Amino acid sequence: MDSGLSLSWEYKTLINELTQGMEKAKQLHFHLCSTTSPSETQYLLLQRILSSYQKALSILKGNGSTSARQAQAQFVAPMLGGPELSVSADESPRIEDFNKSSMRDHQECSPVKKRKFQTTRTEQVRVNSENGLDGPSDDGYTWRKYGQKDILGAKYPRSYYRCTYRLVQSCWATKQVQRSDEDPNVFEITYKGTHTCTQSTNAVLPPPSPDQKQEFQQSPQNHQQPQQKQYETLLSFKANLRVSTDNLDGDNNNNEMPAPFTFPSTYPENQDFHLGSSSSYCPSFVSTATSGTDNYFSPVNNYQSFVANQSNYQHFESDIAEIISAHASTNNSPIGGMEFPGDELNLDPNFLYNASGFYA
């Protein structure tokens, strides 16, 4: 029928237009990164543009009755087990390297070995009273402190955080917070890996808590609210969120400490990150600062159901790592357009979600 032909033509044209749009966005991305140092806001916008193109293309290409499922799989897979892209941060190898060698190493799942391939990004953040304890504190992600260490030659200890959703969403992002020796108001935040969780923005998962005191707290009062309450405070939290390039302006010189800060925590290290890739969808790249306040659901039920206590949580982490890694290594996604946390230990959240019995 004519309608069929017309549809086919329109379909192809649509894909073509979307593809071109995405290419232009990538070029803009490249241009921006190669000529200037884009602000995080600019980065966010580009990420979203690319993400939107990617979504649209994926949906279109996932033609037929399985389109929705395919689209979903395509969006989920990159976060969970797709092939690594050209992560080009510090010591991060490109995908070829992963395929050739690191996957072998990965079988042993040594955290240290995995960490070798993590991308890192360091930011210096100046804190001030204005966005101190009363202000929005975090970067849109919820972190759980897992260690603190005195560093040789450093005046202040270094704190180690990992994503709260490490378990439930296999999000292996971590960060280190080091207070500056010279200026106690300045914190050096080193992000390692990338969030694969969906706790922010496009996200379907809630950032359960402002986590306001978690980051730079000097006194250990930073206890999390119960998850339900965290969700209740989400709206007010989000209302206060903003991209914190303000914090980097240098005009915030109040001495009051500690102070939280707000900025997106997951940016690719440089333009190599996904410009060279065929796709680059990453929902986690957008901070809550630019997100809406709507579409959230809570992973908390699952989380609480099998994370009865920290011991279980941690045992689960280590035990399941082997299983998951095997799962991930044999389940490469056709769409791998995003930066991974560096250790290819990405798993389908559905795997976990459906596996409560596994853990119970």
Q: In the complex, which residues of this chain contact DNA (CB under 7 A)?
A: 110-113, 115, 144-153, 158-160, 162, 164, 174, 176, 192, 208, 211, 214, 217, 219-227, 300, 303-304, 307-311, 314-315, 317-318
Given the complex with DNA, which of 13 and 110 has the nearer CB atom?
Answer: 110
Nearest distance from residue 197's CB to DNA, in Å? 13
For residue 299, the minimal CB distance to DNA (Å) is 11
| Cβ atoms of residues 216 and 100 within 8 Å | no
Sheet holding 158-163, edge to edge: 120-126, 186-192, 174-179, 158-163, 143-149
Closest contact distance (angstroms) between CB of 133 and DNA is: 13
CB of 102 to DNA, least distance (A): 12
Q: Give least dist CB 238 to DNA, A.
A: 18
Residue 143 or 281 having the CB closest to DNA: 143
Task: Report the residue number, 31 or 229, with the smaller CB distance to DNA.
Answer: 229
Q: Give the residue with the Cβ less far from DNA, 232 or 246.
A: 232
Identify which of residues 304 and 331 has a Cβ nearer to DNA in the complex: 304
Give CA–CA dist 360/358, Å, rounded.
6
Q: Which is nearer to DNA, 47 or 92 (CB)?
A: 92
As measured in angstroms, the least distance from the Cβ of 19 to DNA is 38
φ, ψ of residue 70 in degrees (nearest 5): -65, -45
The answer to whether 88 touches 269, Cβ cutoff 8 Å, is yes
Instruction: Reduce the DSSP state of residue 126 to 3 states and report it.
Output: strand
Among candidate residues 219, 24, 213, 22, the one with its CA nearest the CA of residue 132: 213
In the bound state with DNA, the residue whose beta carbon lies nearer, of 42 and 304, is 304
**Shortest Cβ distance from residue 66 to DNA (Å)?**
36
What is the number of residues in the chain?
360
Cβ 146 vs Cβ 270: under 8 Å: no
User: Torsion over CA of 87, 90, 92 and 94, rounded to 10 degrees?
Assistant: 50
Nearest-angstrom CA–CA distance, 315 and 115: 19
Task: Decide: 78 and 281 in contact? Cβ < 8 Å.
Answer: yes
* Amino acid in position 144: R
Please report how close the Cβ of residue 287 comes to DNA at its closest, in angstroms: 19
User: Is 343:114 a contact under the CB 8 Å cutoff?
Assistant: yes
Return phi, psi of residue 194, to 5°. -130, 145
Nearer to DNA, 129 or 224 (CB): 224
**From CA 35, how far away is CA 45, in angstroms rounded?**
17
